[in-house]
């Protein structure tokens, strides 16, 4: 039975989300392909949002862009958990991330509404 490795740790994931350079986007996309790493990725998202909530300057546009990018690129298995993370706090950092996640429509693409 496989167990999740401790690499990448949540600090590494949080730093990649904070910079979100083209190389970091590639790295994160590769990480999202591996279901074994889901917990590490989600813990990194939590840490990233907590760090941004505690930052002296809130860059809501960057948080929104991060939410939109991760929502558009995350596989269906992660969409609900990402939405839960975005709703976990009322701080403006969480709200900006949630706005981007909603804008990406990743959850709707993963779980389309049933026709009536």
Q: What is the pLDDT of residue 38?
A: 96
Give the mean pLDDT of 5-15: 86
- Cβ burial, residue 74 (10 Å; 0-12/13-18/19+): buried
Q: What is the pLDDT of residue 36?
A: 94
What share of the chain has pLDDT > 90, as a percent? 85
Q: What is the pLDDT of residue 14?
A: 97
Specify the range with the lowest mean pLDDT, choosing from 5-9, 42-46, 52-56, 88-92.
5-9
Kindly indicate the confidence band of residue 65, based on its pLDDT and cuts at 50, 70 and 90: very high
Q: What is the pLDDT of residue 6?
A: 59
- Asked if the model's pLDDT at residue 45 lies above 90, the reply is yes
Three-state secondary structure string covering 13-34: HHHHHHHCCHHHHHHHHHHHHC
Residue 18 C-alpha from the chain's centroid: 11
- Cβ burial, residue 91 (10 Å; 0-12/13-18/19+): middle
Q: What is the pLDDT of residue 2?
A: 45
Helices (H) and strands (E) in the chain, counts: 7, 0
Distance CA 55, CA 35 (A): 31
């Amino acid at each position: 039975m496989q167990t999740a490795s401790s690499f990448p740790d949540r600090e590494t994931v949080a730093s990649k989300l904070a910079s979100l350079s083209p190389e970091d986007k590639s790295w994160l996309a590769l990480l999202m392909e591996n279901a074994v790493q889901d917990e590490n990725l989600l813990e990194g998202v939590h840490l990233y949002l907590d760090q941004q909530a505690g930052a002296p300057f809130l860059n809501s546009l960057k948080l929104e862009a991060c939410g939109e990018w991760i929502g558009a690129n995350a596989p269906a298995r992660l969409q609900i958990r990402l939405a839960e993370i975005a709703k976990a706090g009322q701080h403006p950092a969480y709200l900006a991330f949630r706005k981007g996640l909603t804008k990406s429509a990743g959850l709707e693409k993963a779980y389309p509404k049933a026709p009536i």
